[in-house]
Structure 1
Amino acid sequence: MRKIDKDALSAINFLMVSLFVISTSVRAEPNFISCDVSPANYTQNSPFGNNLKRLLESLWSNTPLSQGFNSTVFGNSTDQVYGQALCRGDVTPEVCRDCVQNASLEIMTVCSTQNAIIWHEFCQVQYSYRPFYSWDGYTGMYPDSNKDEKNISDSVGFVVVLKDFMNKLSDQAAFNPSNLMFATGKTKISTNETIYGFVQCTRDISRSDCRVCLNSEFGDLDGCCDYRQGGTVLSRNCNMRFQLYPFYNEPTVNGNRKKIKVAMLVAGPTTFVLAGLAAGCYVIRHQRSNRTRKDEEKSQSALLQELANPPSVDINQEGEFVSSQELPFMELATIKAATGNFSDTNKLGQGGFGTVYKGILCDGKEIAVKRLSGKSWQGLEEFKNEVILIAKLQHRNLVRLVGCGIEGEEKLLIYEYMPNKSLDLFIFDSEKRAKLHWDIRLNIILGIARALLYLHEDSRLKIIHRDLKPNNVLLDQEMVAKISDFGMARIFGENQNIANTKRVVGTYGYMAPEYAMSGLFSVKSDVFSYGVILLEIISGKRNSGFYLTEHAPTLLAYAWRLWSDGKELEFLDPLLAGSCPVAEVVRCIHIGLLCVQEDPKDRPNMSSVVVLLGSESATLPEPNQPAFSVSRVAHIEPSSSTDPSVKNQVSVSSVSAR
Structure 2
Amino acid sequence: MDTAARGAFLHLLVLTSLLLLLASRAAAQPWQACGNTGKYTANSTYGSNLATLTKALPTNASRSGTLFATGTVGAIPNTVYALALCRGDINATACGSCVATGFQDAQQLCAYDKDAALYYNECYLRFSNENFLASTTNNDDPMILLNSQNVSSPVKVFDAAVHVLINATSDYAAANATRLFATGEEAFDTTDPTIYGLSQCTPDMSPANCRSCLGGIISLMPQFLSGSQGGRIIRMRCNFRYEVYSFFSGTPSLRLPVPFTAAAAPAPSPTPVNVTPTATPPAPGRSRNKTGVAVAIVVPIVAAVLAISTICICFLWKRRRSAREQTPCYGTNAPDIESIDSLLLDISTLRAATDNFAESNMLGEGGFGAVYKGVLPDGQEIAVKRLSQSSGQGIQELKTELAFVAKLQHRNLVRLVGVCLQEHEKLLVYEYMPNRSIDTILFDNEKSKELDWGKRVKIINGIARGLQYLHEDSQLKIIHRDLKASNVLLDSDYTPKISDFGLARLFGRDQSREVTNRVVGTYGYMAPEYAMRGHYSIKSDVFSFGILILEILTGRRSSGSINIEQSIDLLSIVWEHWTTGTIVEIMDPSLRGKAPAEQMLKCVHIGLLCVQDNPVDRPMMSTVNVMLSSGTVSLQAPLKPVFFIPNNGHYSTDYSEAYPVSRTTGDGKSGAFSVNEVSITELEPR
TM-score normalised over the length of structure 2? 0.47
Higher relative contact order (CA 8 A, sep 6+): 1
